[in-house]
Structure 1
Amino acid sequence: MNDPLVVTEKSRLRRMHSRGYFDRATINGILDAQPLCSVGYVIDGQPYVTPTFQWREGDRVYWHGSSASRALRNSKDAKVCLTVAILDGFVLARSGMHHSLNTRSAMLFGTAVKVEDPAEKLEKLRTFLDGLFPERYDTLRPDYEQDLKATMVLGMDIAEGSAKVRTGDPSDDEEDYALPIWAGVIPVTTHVGTPIPDARLIDGVKMPDHVRNFRIG
């Protein structure tokens, strides 16, 4: 499905409308570029936000955690808000008012649905792991039944939400451009370091390509 998300009272932008996007290509691109997300939910009238990993399959987004997690148990069949944000740069202007950030973010609203079928849950977890580290799952020991019982997977449709993107130079007041003040952008990128082998790695185990070539963003 390539139709844009329907603009709702929750998802519409109140200001900076030019930075808002409702097309799936933009939203999907942000979700695919950053696995770390935050999921907001309410327990007994108190709002909570929990960081976790997310992954997208078509027009659905999934996340997982411990079956004992209060966050996941209370999110099942409940309304949640899932957000992903990527920092691309610090924007330094000629006034404090116009300092900003170059960012890409997506905010989604929906009902979290638990993946109940064990075979489907296993396939979702496999997709999640292989999405980060291609072909790694088949190199691992098989999941024990208890591993799957201890893990909960939730998902929701990508149907309501929006993306917000800022790029480029600072937007100063016109008269401020004549001031002798440095302005511009300090770019920010995610750096992936050199993999560090486990201290208990047995002799002769070689680093696989999905570790050596790992990238994000």
Structure 2
Amino acid sequence: MPIDDALPALPTDDALPALPSLAVRRLRDRQQTDPEALRQVLAEGFVAHVGLVRDGFPIVLPFLYGVGDLGAGPVLLLHGSTGGGLFLDAGDEGVPVSATITHLDGIVFARSTFDSSANYRSAMVVGRASVVPAELRAEALRQVADHLMPGRRAELRAMTAKEVRQTQVLHLPLDAASVKVRAAGVGESPDDGEDHAVWAGVLPVALRAGEPVAGALAAAAGTPVDPSVRALAARLDAVAEGLEARLAALM
């Protein structure tokens, strides 16, 4: 099946230009169209870089995000303030954006800078980002919290109505996305003409958790670290160890 056929086009109207092709033009074998590949990239990320055009000039803004479902299918949920620029840009009709999430998994050290590279997983989601309706905002905020800090809500008080009013969420459908992955060792062969006395290989890179640092009041009271914090730290370490194990199997 052609790559373009696996990426559904968005409806077009005056507010949303025709969707550009999401097919990878170079190193096409790195594009993945399996929905599970998109799910994994989004599940392990925390920050989405969102590109849009404002006053005729392209800008890119970082957002904490979550992945959720408000009743119409999976969406990317972008968290921010009601006074944030993108939320004002969205207005009542939404705003065309491109959101990207990238994981750097390793630096590939070849025997020339030309052949050096990186291992990565990246996703780009294109579409119209729209303001979450007021009646769904609290649920959207809960889903963002569950993505960023799983299990944390059970340890905290509930959000107040005022807090919900002061926060805003945009939702971006996931039906137009492109995923690109490089997960490989260094390119080399015995007869490649390079100096094999020079080390070549991959330096794994991963997001790991440090030791939790207590706030002043928690430290003074000797408050133990909550389970959700320890669990997230353990999850990050487990993901990093899994990536390193898969890399070792490739070499």
> Normalising by structure 2, what TM-score?
0.78
1:165-193 Cα deviation digits (max 9, x unpaired): 00111235885355323211011111101
Match of 2:149 in 1: 133
What CA distance in whole angstroms lies between the structure 2 residues aligned with 1:80 and 1:71?
10
Equivalent pairs counted in the alignment come to: 214
Shift, 1:4, TM fit: 4.9
Are 1:148 and 2:175 matched, yes or no?
no
User: 64, 77, 80: which is aligned to 2:97?
Assistant: 80
Shift, 1:74, TM fit: 1.4
What CA distance in whole angstroms lies between the structure 2 residues aligned with 1:15 and 1:174?
27
Name the SS for the 2:170 alignment partner.
strand
1:128-158 Cα deviation digits (max 9, x unpaired): 2123333322432332332122211001111
Are 1:206 and 2:220 matched, yes or no?
no
Name the structure where helix makes up a greater proportion of residues.
2
Q: Which has the higher contact order (CA 8 A, sep 6+)?
A: 1
Match of 2:80 in 1: 65
What CA distance in whole angstroms lies between the structure 1 residues aligned with 2:167 and 2:193?
55
* % identical aligned pairs: 31
Structure 1 vs Structure 2 CA RMSD:
2.2
Counterpart contact for 2:66–2:144, Cα < 8 Å: yes
Counterpart contact for 1:129–1:137, Cα < 8 Å: yes
Give structure 2 stretches of 5+ with no counterpart: 10-18, 240-251
What CA distance in whole angstroms lies between the structure 2 residues aligned with 1:43 and 1:95?
41
What CA distance in whole angstroms lies between the structure 2 residues aligned with 1:52 and 1:175?
47
Counting only pairs closer than 5 Å after superposition, residues 26-45 of structure 1 correspond to structure 2 as: 26-45=37-56
Runs of 4 or more off by more than 3 Å in structure 1?
3-9, 172-175
Shift, 1:84, TM fit: 0.3
> Normalising by structure 1, what TM-score?
0.89
Shift, 1:200, TM fit: 1.8
Task: Call closer, same or farther: CA 1:116–1:17 in 2, change over 3 Å.
Answer: same
Structure 2 residue identity aligned to 1:200: L
Counterpart contact for 2:125–2:178, Cα < 8 Å: yes
